[in-house]
Every structure is written in C-alpha cells, then in structure tokens.
Structure 1
Amino acid sequence: MSSSSTESFKQIFILSGQSNMAGRGGVIKYTDHHHHQHKKWNGVVPPQCQPHPSILRLNAHLHWEEAREPLHADIDHRKVCGVGPGMAFANGIRERVSGTLGLVPCAVGGTAIREWARGCELYENMVKRCKAAAVESGGGEIKALLWYQGESDATAHDADAYKGRMEKFVCDVREDLQSPLLPIIQVALASGDEKYIEKVREAQLGIKLPNVVCVDAKGLKLNDDNLHLSTEAQVQLGQMLADAYLSHFDSCST
C-alpha cells in the first residue's frame, strides 16, 4: 500500500451528538474579580490526544486543517469546549488504517435527538459538512459516524421515543450520505436524569440495525457537574471507540 494515491486517501469520521461528544474534559469554573462565574478549558492535552500530521479536522469554514483539541471549539461555539473522545479515537486507529484521517466535528451541547431529525438545522448542517468533507478531501470515504447523545432525552416526555427517533436518524443519515451500511458507533449514556437514563440506555443498547454498535460509557469518571466526562474518561472513551471500530469495521485489522 505505498502508492501515492493511497497515501493521500482520507478516511473520514463524523463526530456528532451533544456535549460529551463536543467535549467538556478539563472545563473548569472560575470566579472573576466581579464575582461572576465563568468557565474555561484548563488547556491540558493528554498524550493520547496530541495532534499528529496524519489527523485532520474539517473546521467551521469547511476547510481541512491539522486537528487539535478542543476539536469542537468553532462548532459548539456557544459553549466552552474541552477534551472530547475524537483525538484519542483518531490516535487509537491511525497506525492501523492507511492514509490520512479526517475528523468532521458536528456535535452541539444540550441538543435533543428531535433536533437532529432530517430537515432540522443541526441535521442538515451535519450532512452538508459530511458531503463537503468528502469533496474537499479529493475523494475521501466516510468510514463511520461516532454518536454520543441522549442526555437531553432522559425526560418523562422524550425517553420512550428515543429508540424510534434514533433508528430513523440512522436510516436518514445513511440515505442522505448514500451509504446504506455506514458504520455507526453510538455511546450508551454515562449520565443524565436518574429516573429516565435507563430508558434511553436501553434504547441505545437495544438497536438492532445492521452495522450499528454501541460502546457503554457507564462508570466512566465524570466532572464535578456529574454530567460531563472528565478528560481522563474521554481518553478511555476514545480508546473504546477505536477498539470498536477496529474490531467491527476495519477490514485491514481482521
């Protein structure tokens, strides 16, 4: 596999969902001299999340650039972003897959799955970014969608509808990206309203569509807010996602 066309070939991965995919690892609260509370990222990048020349990111302006934390800074721009699972995932697979890796961050904090339905702004923007990623890479292939979302659906009103909405999302994304068996790796929730989280997790773990696998974040360390994964937990999650991709979907690794 040493031809120049293979070396420039991009394998594209979509990162989507809500805040835990966008990344809040290392986001800390502080109080300014007016006694106002703010948040900022502590700037700590673990070794597993370091940039690498073979890992690129599609920025908000639809251009490829070297990927670095926080991956979602210009995408989930209304919130303070920190470390998510994307860089640890990319570093976890880059030695096992050929060519350049392209990450397409699309996650936005605090969003419910109904906001990711076909026709809604978040969904349409994600599809637009994915199509642009393939064009801008000169023929790169979208290899998988990594999805971490559902905390906003752990409510009396939405938990029961999650499974149907998620299945519809999978089918719509595959149709719109003309990839009927696009691999989807979803994350089962680590946090959310205790009364309803199990209903959403049950849906996530129970989806039986082909080429949809689930990794379970339950038990991973949370920040003090008890909602967002810590930096250390995001590294672990990225490695779990990498293992899931390599074991289920990467033909070179079997």
Structure 2
Amino acid sequence: MENKNQKMENNPRMSKWLFILSGQSNMAGRGGVHHRHWNAVVPQECQPCSSILRFSAVSSWEEACDPLHFDIDVTKTCGVGPGMPFATALLPRLPPGSTIGLVPCAVGGTAIREWERGSKLYNDMVRRAKEVTGDGEIKAVLWYQGESDTTSDQSARSYRHNLERFIGDVRDDLQLPSLPFIQVALASGDKKHIEQVREAQLELDLPNVVCVDAKGLPLNEDHLHLNTEAQVKLGNMLAEAYIKHFLLPDA
C-alpha cells in the first residue's frame, strides 16, 4: 500500500476535488450491515475507480472503496454509505482528468454536542481537512447527523442553534467563509422529536447551505439505518444538489 500511495502522491493529475464526509452512522454507512456483519455487496454505483480516492485514518490517499469509514468509525460495523455513489455520480460532470478525494470523518451514535468546537470529533475532522488542503480544494462538507438528537426535547430544541454554530466554526477554522455544506434531513430517529430536528434541518437558512431530504428512503430491519439501495439514492441526491447549487457551468 505504501508504494501505491507514493505513486498517487506523485501523480501530476492529483489536483483533487475534496469533500469532507461527516456526521454519524448513516454517513459512515450501514448499507448491507445485518446483525453487525456487512454482506460485502457493492452496487455498481459504488465500484472502485482510480479517479476516486479516500483519505485514510493514517493520512494517506488510496483508491476509495466501501466501507469508506472502516478505519474511522472503528467501534461499529461499516458498510455502504453515500460517499461512493456521490463521487460516482459527480465525476462525469467534472473536467476531464479530475480526481475526487473523499475525507471520511463520520462516527456513529454521536450527538451534535459531541461535534462542538474543541471536541475530539471536531478537532479530528478539522485536522484531517487541513491535512488535505495542499492536495486540492475543499469543495463541500457533506453532513448527515441528528438521529442522536431526537432522543430528548432539549436536544431537539437546541439543534438548529448548534448546527448553525457548528457550520460557522468549521468555516472559521478552515478559513473558508463560504464553504458549501450539503446537509441531510433525517430519515429516521425517535418519533417523539424527529420532526423537531427535521424542521431545524429543512428550515436552516445560511448562505451556501442546502438540504436534501432522506425521508422515505428504505431502512434496514433496525428501522434506523438506510439500506444499500437508499444509500445509493442518497449519494445521487447529494451529487445532484452539489451540481445544481455549487458546480459552475464552466467547471
């Protein structure tokens, strides 16, 4: 792997379109995971491609393949997530010879308070983002989180404020005041408070922040995590949102 990574780093084509993947388990990917085991089924939309790379936990670039978060979300079983279908759908819309660099940062079961500035999750994400800035341009943060904040009224009520602060802090710390965020409105969560969190996500009104709605996408038997089919659909939705809102016609 070391020789492969060294070859990639020396490749003159490696000016990357960089995307940060962050949030909790549905961003880390649980598609195809049943009873803590991944079935290793990889859809066509998630097949590896030499022009789609991932930034590993040991800070090296390698050809991306699911599970993208296997060495990031290490206490849980990872499967198919939205990152690979997102990159697969976006790549043909980029200039010839472009490379997409995915930077996995999501960790399952995490509430938004655990992503506050100064926390380990936040610091690790910002550190990884800064480590890749010399390899290309960070084009967007893809953010899917909030299920853990549907479990109490207090968490749900404060979600919008916490999300706004999180976005502002990330932009400040990366010195990218207009950094695009594409966030996902929840498909699942505690029924008592899920609509309160979804309302905060859908109605968030900040520059260069858009939302795609995962409601109605099919879930695993746990009724919490998107299944493989849903993750492919979500990846395409995220790509469509990026193309529509942030990809310049002459890119």
**TM-score, normalization by structure 1:** 0.92
CA offsets 1:163-216 (integer angstroms, 9 cap, x no match):
000000000000111110100000000000011000000000111100000000
Task: Write the distance in 2 (CA, Å) between the matches of 1:6 and 1:158.
Answer: 47
Q: How does 1:69-80 map to 2 (within 5 A)?
A: 69-80=66-77
CA displacement at 1:156 relative to structure 2: 1.8
Is 2:127 the partner of 1:128? yes
Q: Which amino acid aligns with 2:34?
A: I
Counterpart of 2:116? Answer: 117
What is the CA deviation profile of residues 33-55 of structure 1, one whole-angstrom value per residue up to 9, with x for unaligned ones? xxxxxx11000000000010000
Selected match of 2:147 from 147, 151, 156: 151
- Matched residues in 2 for 1:97 and 1:77: separation? 32
Match of 1:10 among 16, 22, 25: 16
Q: Distance in 2 between matches of 1:6 and 1:150?
A: 39
Question: Per-residue displacement from partner, 1:2-61 (whole Å, max 9, x unpaired)?
Answer: xxx9843111000000000000000012xxxxxxxxx11000000000010000000000
Pair 1:95–1:106, CA change in 2 (3 A): same
Q: Which residue of 1 aligns with 2:219?
A: 222
2:94 to 92, 97, 105: 97
Aligned structure 1 segments of 4 or more residues deviating by more than 4 angstroms: none
The aligned residue for residue 137 of structure 2 is 141
Q: Which amino acid aligns with 1:142?
A: I
Task: Show the counterpart of 1:34.
Answer: none
1:198 to 181, 195, 201: 195
- The answer on whether the counterparts of 1:96 and 1:253 sit within 8 Å (CA) in structure 2 is no
Pair 1:170 & 2:176 matched: no
Change (3 A) 1:157 1:175: same
What is the TM-score with the length of structure 2 in the denominator?
Answer: 0.93
Find the aligned partners of 1:145 and 1:234 in 2 and give their Cα distance.
17
SS at match of 2:153: coil
Provide the rounded CA distance (Å) in 2 between the counterparts of 1:204 and 1:96: 27
State how far apart, in whole Å, the 2-side matches of 1:96 and 1:178 are.
Answer: 27
Which among 238, 248, 251 is matched to residue 251 of structure 1? Answer: 248
1:53 to 46, 50, 55: 50
Task: Look up the SS of the partner of 1:244 in the other structure.
Answer: helix
Q: What do you get for the CA RMSD once the two structures are aligned?
A: 1.3
Q: Name structure 2 gaps, 5 residues minimum.
A: 1-10
Q: CA shift at 1:253, angstroms?
A: 6.4
Q: Is 1:22 aligned to residue 28 of structure 2?
A: yes
Is the contact made by 1:97 and 1:252 (CA closer than 8 Å) also made in structure 2?
A: no
